[in-house]
């Protein structure tokens, strides 16, 4: 493998006279004893690295394309190189679209293949610059003669500018002319990215750039939401994306918010195309919110004539149940069950409400909280069986003695007052009497400082 010549210390030093005659950053690189790589040199370097780190790739490539590893060695190497570079550059571009700017440039910088001696000299020569600035400059110089990389380098640069423009304060006074220039370079890069998801991320970055442009121009975002070129970017995102977080961002910028018809269509598209559970959970939750917003009188118990409202509430429950199935976080699952239970109560579906409350108590609550939840459920339904379950949980759970006695006293007291079977009432009354006697003994022991059983 051919590498660029090693730097010598006298070559790494740029004189004051040279800086004055050649003030540009590109000239700073030219005065160093490094030169751009040719495409053949890059290919040799990449293949040598592949041979060292993953030699099995060549055998796999030969088998994949029915080639002889020995006789067709050149063809195998060419195919392996092309596939490796294609995957590597696609990963780099996607990292950039995910706004991981520095890792993306690190991947490109790896293709420069500087020797350790060159790295040391270059670090010393660019001591006044940040590591990121130094590497960005060197990438553009070192890879300048590799024709196939030029569209990617330009796209990476445009994406980096758009990201910087989209961050408040990172670049001052962006104007429409500058933003349109960056946007043109971004759209030129559409040929090197594939898939609706990648394109939606590109337009997401562009939308934030135009949003910041309006902030710089008007002092704040346009009243009532996005407009103009930012709005066009948002529509393009919604037409392409299956990521709920991008749809949610668009909803915050549109004047109608989550009620915008295109937002609902985008979330439905997520349900049809996405396989990511977290993504599906978010989309179903958002669709449930849309259904609930359509109900103008949420909070009342509708009668049979309110078919439209019943439909919206019923659809919201179905979306929330789907979100529950896809959600893994226990806290979020509990919040969803509470919401479903509330809607069932609003619809007058008391049996469903009761079932959800029971699931909440038994699956998501523990110890004293479970006992209190079962007590409240018994109070609201009038079903004594929940008092009995609260008693059982209290007796078998690991509760402090004082807490256990308080809960049991409440349970037995309510069972005595409820209109239940006389035998059950008498049993509860006896248990309550024994419990109160035990409490008196405990307080007596505490008062006199006695341990163990006191005298009766």
Q: For 239-265, how does the pLDDT look when each residue is reduced to its tens digit (9 = 90+)? A: 999 999 999 999 999 988 898 999 999
Higher pLDDT among residues 71 and 421, named by residue = 71
Mean pLDDT of 165-178: 71
Q: What is the pLDDT at residue 194?
A: 80
Residues 348-363: what's their mean pLDDT? 94
**120 confidence band (pLDDT: 50, 70, 90):** confident
157 and 264 share one domain: yes
Supply the CATH number for residue 290's domain.
Answer: 1.20.58
Instruction: Give how many domains the chain has, as a whole number.
Output: 3
Choose one of 364, 392, 408: the last residue of a domain. 364
Where residue 15 falls among pLDDT bands split at 50, 70, 90?
very low
Determine the average pLDDT of the residues in 323-333. Answer: 95
Q: Which domain holds residue 284?
A: 275-364
Domain co-membership, 239 together with 162: yes
Note whether residue 125 is domain-resident.
no
The answer to whether residues 241 and 320 belong to one domain is: no
Q: Are 225 and 291 contained in the same domain?
A: no
Task: Label residue 396 by pLDDT band (50, 70, 90).
Answer: confident
Q: Is residue 225 part of a domain?
A: yes
Q: Are residues 161 and 194 in the same domain?
A: yes
Residue 1 domain-assigned? no
Q: What is the mean pLDDT of residues 375-393?
A: 90
Amino acid 214: pLDDT:
79
Q: Are residues 258 and 314 in the same domain?
A: no
Whether 162 and 254 share a structural domain: yes
Instruction: Give the pLDDT confidence of 83-119 residue by residue, as tens digits.
Output: 999 999 999 999 999 999 999 999 999 999 998 888 8
Residue 396 lies in a domain: yes
Q: Which of 335, 364, 393 is the last residue of a domain?
A: 364
**Overall average pLDDT of the 332-339 stretch:** 95
Q: Which residue has the higher pLDDT, 380 or 29?
A: 380
- Domain membership flag for residue 209: yes
| Mean pLDDT to the nearest integer, 45-58 | 94
Q: Final residue of a domain: which of 344, 364, 384?
A: 364
Q: Are 344 and 376 within one domain?
A: no
Query: Could you tell me which residue, 158 or 442, shows the higher pLDDT?
Result: 158
In a domain, 342, yes or no: yes
- Does 296 share its domain with 347? yes
In terms of domains, do 338 and 286 share one?
yes
Residue 296 lies in a domain: yes
Pair (353, 414) in one structural domain:
no
Percent of all residues in the chain with a pLDDT value above 90, rounded to a whole number: 55
Is 183 inside a domain boundary?
yes
Q: Within this chain, do residues 260 and 346 fall inside the same structural domain, yes or no?
A: no
pTM of the entire structure?
0.79
Output 285 or 401, whichever has higher pLDDT: 285
* Residue 289 pLDDT exceeds 60: yes
SS3 readout for the chain: CCCCCCCCHHHHCCCHHHHHHCCCHHHHHHCCCCCCCCHHHHHHHHHHHHHHHCCHHHHHHHHHCCCCCCCCHHHHHHHHHHHHHHHHHHHHHHHHHCCCHHHHHHHHHHCCCCCHHHHHHHHHHCCCCCHHHHHHHHHHHHCCCCHHHHHHHHHHHHHHHHHHHHCCCCCCCCCHHHHHHHHHHHHHHHHHCCCHHHHHHHHHHHHHHHHHHHHHHHCCCCCCCCCHHHHHHHHHHHHHCCCHHHHHHHHHHCCCHHHCHHHHHHHHHHHHHCCCHHHHHHHHHHHHHHHHHCCCCECECCCCCCHHHHHHHHHHHHHHHHHHHHCCCHHHHHHHHHHHHHHHHHCCCHHHHHHHHHHHHHHHCCHHHHHHHHHHHHHHHCCCHHHHHHHHHHHHCCCCHHHHHHHHHHHHHHHHHCCCCHHHHHHHHHHHHHHHHHHHHHHHHHHHCCCCCCCC
């Amino acid at each position: 493998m051919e590498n660029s010549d090693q730097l010598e210390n006298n070559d790494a030093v740029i004189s004051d006279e040279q800086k004055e005659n050649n003030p540009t950053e590109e000239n700073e690189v030219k005065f160093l004893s490094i030169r751009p790589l040719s495409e053949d040199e890059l290919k040799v370097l990449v293949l040598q690295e592949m041979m060292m780190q993953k030699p099995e790739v060549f055998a796999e490539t030969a088998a994949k394309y029915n080639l002889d590893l020995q006789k067709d060695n050149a063809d195998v190497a060419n195919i392996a190189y092309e596939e490796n570079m294609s995957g590597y550059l696609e990963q780099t571009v996607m990292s950039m679209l995910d706004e991981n700017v520095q890792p993306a440039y690190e991947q490109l910088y790896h293709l420069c293949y500087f020797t350790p001696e060159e790295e040391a000299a270059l670090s010393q020569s660019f001591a006044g610059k940040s590591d990121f600035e130094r590497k960005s400059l060197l990438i553009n110089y070192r890879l300048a003669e590799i024709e196939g990389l030029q569209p990617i380098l330009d796209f990476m640069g445009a994406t980096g500018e758009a990201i910087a423009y989209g961050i408040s304060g990172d670049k001052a006074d962006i104007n429409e002319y500058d933003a349109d220039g960056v946007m043109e370079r971004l759209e030129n890069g559409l040929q090197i990215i594939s898939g609706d998801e990648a394109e939606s991320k590109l337009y997401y970055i562009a939308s934030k750039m135009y949003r910041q442009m309006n902030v710089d121009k008007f002092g704040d975002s346009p009243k009532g939401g996005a407009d103009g070129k930012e709005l066009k970017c948002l529509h393009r995102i919604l037409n392409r994306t299956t990521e709920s977080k991008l749809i949610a961002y668009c909803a915050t910028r549109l004047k109608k918010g989550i009620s915008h018809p295109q937002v609902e269509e985008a979330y439905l598209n997520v349900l049809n195309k996405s396989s990511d559970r977290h993504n599906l959970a978010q989309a179903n939750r958002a669709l449930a919110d849309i259904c609930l917003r359509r109900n103008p009188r949420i909070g009342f118990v509708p009668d049979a004539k309110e078919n439209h409202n019943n439909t919206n509430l019923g659809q919201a429950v179905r979306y929330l149940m789907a979100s529950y199935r896809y959600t893994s976080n226990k806290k979020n699952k509990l919040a969803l069950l509470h919401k479903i239970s509330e809607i069932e109560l609003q619809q007058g579906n008391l049996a469903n409400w009761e079932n959800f409350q029971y699931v909440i108590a038994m699956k998501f609550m523990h110890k004293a909280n479970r006992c209190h939840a079962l007590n409240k459920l018994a109070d609201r339904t009038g079903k004594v069986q929940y008092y009995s379950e609260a008693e059982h949980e209290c007796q078998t759970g690991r509760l402090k003695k004082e807490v256990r006695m308080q809960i049991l006293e409440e349970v037995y007291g309510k069972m005595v007052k409820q209109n239940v079977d006389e035998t059950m009432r008498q049993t509860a009354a006896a248990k309550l009497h024994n419990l109160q006697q035990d409490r008196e003994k405990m307080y007596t022991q505490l008062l006199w400082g006695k341990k163990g059983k006191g005298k009766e």
